[in-house]
Amino acid sequence: MTEPAPHSPLEACDITVSYSGRHVVRELSFRVPAGCFTAMLGPNGCGKSTLLRALAGLHPPETGRVLLDGHPLGRLSRRQLARRLSMLPQAPRAPEDITVRDLVEQGRYPHRALFDRWSKADEDACGEALALTGLSDLATRPLAALSGGQRQRAWIAMTLAQSADILLLDEPTTYLDLAHQLELLELVRLLVRERGKTVLAVLHDVNQAAQFADMLVMLKEGRILHMGRAHDVMSAATMREVFSVEGLVTTHPLDGSPLFLPAAMRPARAG
Amino acid sequence: MVAAMTAGVMNRTMAGLILLVAVMALLSLATGDGGFAPADIWAALGGDPLAATILGTIRAPRVVTALLVGACLGVAGTITQAVMRNPLAEPGLIGINGGAGLAVAVLIIGYGGAGGHLLPLAGFAGAALAAGTIYALSWRGGTSSIRLLLVGIGIAALTGAGTAFLTAMGDVRDVQRTLAWMAGSIYNADWTRLHWLLVWSAPTFALIWFLARDLDLIRLDETCSRSLGMSLHLTNGIMILLCTLLAGAAVATAGPIGFIGLLAPHLARGASTRHAGLLPAAALWGALLLMGADLAGRMVGLPAGLLTPLIGVPFLGFLLWRRKND
């Protein structure tokens, strides 16, 4: 495992983000670890997605600033930002007749000016994105004709064609079956290790996060409670604190990553 | 190789469409009050002054107007479907027809039938005003497709109610004129109006074609478009403006003609999945449909606007049926 780089390009400085009048993220400061696969964990409504959208510049914080290379996001044009940072929302929608190739080529949008023709660089980026996601042979198929796993890979391919070094993924494994979930996480790990990407992904499965991600960030009620390597932050105590779930943390017998085994839930308590 | 293959398919579809439009134009030119008479064209070309006058001042402007209005509606429909991210959307949803109808009713009924030459202007102004109102009312620090759609339905109901009120209260002859206008027709086309339509629509077509790539992206997911670097709200606004210019010009020229804005983009989908190909194909399909409806209308003595629903409604049913069976 590589040491996280000390200087991270993307950071949130003391941000408070509101969503329909409610403070969802509160006075939060966070540097996205560079060159790492970081998984964001936390109970529903803890502000994970909102934090992701704020980091992507899609939802400006009420107070505080989000910086990219030390510059506030607001100073960058959407296009400039898109060349550095790509974000894949949860369950994105596409028109029914669009092909995989059409979708992936949209990733080149921020790199093309109004009258620019399709360039070799565009072609190469799309070819590579398709190859990395194993979709080269399916490029001419309509997106609607693919399996859920293939479709999610096509969206990832689109964000890869964007050639940004930072990828923000909102629950990329949702709606996928187990095999496709693992395949996708494997792909993310590959992108980080071999392409030097920085990935921050919201995940729901804590054990998958521990198994695949380099760093874990645990959120609750709009605040980061714990952040670090899985071995350091995953314990019965932190799981109780963050998710209000009792259980024990053991070691995965196959790869040595921490493994959380929840106990049966007691009747719900307030708070 | 794949790209070359798709380009080949697209070029062949386009060539086929252009041929169909040309054939339809010739058929329309050759059809007059006396039915199908291709000899008229020969006579006009041969120098027969009567035939030349009929063709030059009556049939030709009518055929070209149908072609151009159809193209405007086809392109406007394509834009609406992309911006609304809804394959069932059409320019009427941004208030074009309702607004134009109300404005024309106000002019004819409210001002006692004066200013018939102002009808196109009133139609366009009404369309633009309604589209602007819908856009403004759906603005909450940005617009979303669903808000545009909902506000659009509300404004359509409101303008419809206004028009209904005027037609219920107005003088019978004025009401009849209003209703005749609302049927949508191109029987009174002339070169002057055509000239204005062309001057108005040609640069708009060019501008839209240059923005084809933005339309490709805009019909994707809202969050994706933005994170791919699009200033979504700005682009949305520009697209709705361009769509209003085209659909407004069409309604000003021919009155509200339904279904072409819905149908043409769907028929065009076979040609391409990109707007660079989709837009010209939709323009050609729109031209073909309206010329066809006008030709059929002349044969049975009905305005084109009454015939487009005859094709449109079954097609809409087919579309819904196919979606259900997907």
* A93/B228 Cβ within 8 A: no
Q: What is the mean pLDDT of residues B170-189?
A: 85
Q: CA-nearest residue of chain B to A108?
A: B228
Contacts of A29 (CB under 8 A, 6+ apart): A11, A12, A13, A14, A15, A64
| Tens-place pLDDT, residues A130-139 | 999 999 999 9
Residues of B in contact with A77 (CB under 8 A): 229, 231
- Which residues, other chains included, contact A88 with Cβ-Cβ below 8 Å and sequence gap of 6+? A155, A156, A158, A159, A167, A168, A169, A170, A172, B224, B227
User: Mean pLDDT over residues A258-267, rounded?
Assistant: 83
Specify the pLDDT at position B77. 95
Contact A151/B at CB under 8 A = no
Write the pLDDT tens digit of every residue in A51-76: 999 999 999 999 999 999 989 998 89
Can you tell me the distance from the alpha carbon of B28 to that of B61, in angstroms, rounded to the nearest whole number? 11
Q: How many residue contacts between A and B have a Cβ separation below 8 Å? A: 76
CB–CB contact B228 A81 (8 Å): no
Task: Select from A58, A103, A106 the Cβ nearest to the Cβ of B223.
Answer: A58
Please write the tens of the pLDDT for every residue from B84-129. 888 888 888 888 889 999 998 898 888 765 666 788 888 899 999 9
Which of A87, A109, A118 to mutate to probe the B interface, most B CBs <10 Å?
A: A109
CA distance B273 to chain A (A): 6
Please state, in angstroms and rounded to a whole number, the distance separating the CA atoms of residues A1 and B73: 59
The answer to whether residue B318 scores a pLDDT higher than 90 is no
pLDDT at A4: 44
Residues of A in contact with B221 (CB under 8 A): 89, 92-94
Query: Three-state SS for A14?
Result: strand
Residue of higher predicted confidence among B46 and B138: B138
Closest CB to B230 among A56, A78, A96? A78
> Cβ of B231 and A78 within 8 Å?
yes
CB distance A186 to A220 below 8 Å: no
Whether chain B has a CB inside 8 Å of the CB on A89: the answer is: yes
* Stretch (H or E) spanning A68: strand A63-68
A199 to chain B nearest CA, in Å?
15
Tell whether A166 lies on the interface with B, counting CB pairs under 8 A. no
CA–CA gap between residue A68 and residue A55 (Å, rounded)? 9
Contact A86 B228 (CB under 8 A): yes
Closest partner residue to A140 (CB to CB) among B2, B85, B229 is B2
pLDDT tens digit sequence for A176-206: 889 989 999 999 999 999 999 999 999 999 9
* A101, A109, A115 ranked by CB distance to B229: nearest: A109
Is the pTM value of this prediction over 0.80?
yes
The mean pLDDT of A128-153, rounded to a whole number, is 91
Q: How near does any CA of chain B get to the CA of A178, in Å?
A: 25
Q: What is the mean pLDDT of residues A149-170?
A: 93
Q: What is the mean pLDDT of residues B226-240?
A: 91
- Cβ pair A89:B213 closer than 8 A: no
Average pLDDT over residues A91-101: 88
User: Are A216 and A38 in contact, with CB atoms under 8 Å apart?
Assistant: yes
Instruction: Among A214-218, A227-231, B30-34, B73-77, name the one with the lowest average pLDDT.
Output: B30-34
| pLDDT band, very low/low/confident/very high, at A268 (cuts 50, 70, 90) | low
Per-residue pLDDT, B55: 83
Angle between helices A148-161 and A178-195 (to 10 degrees): 20
Quote the pLDDT of residue A208: 96
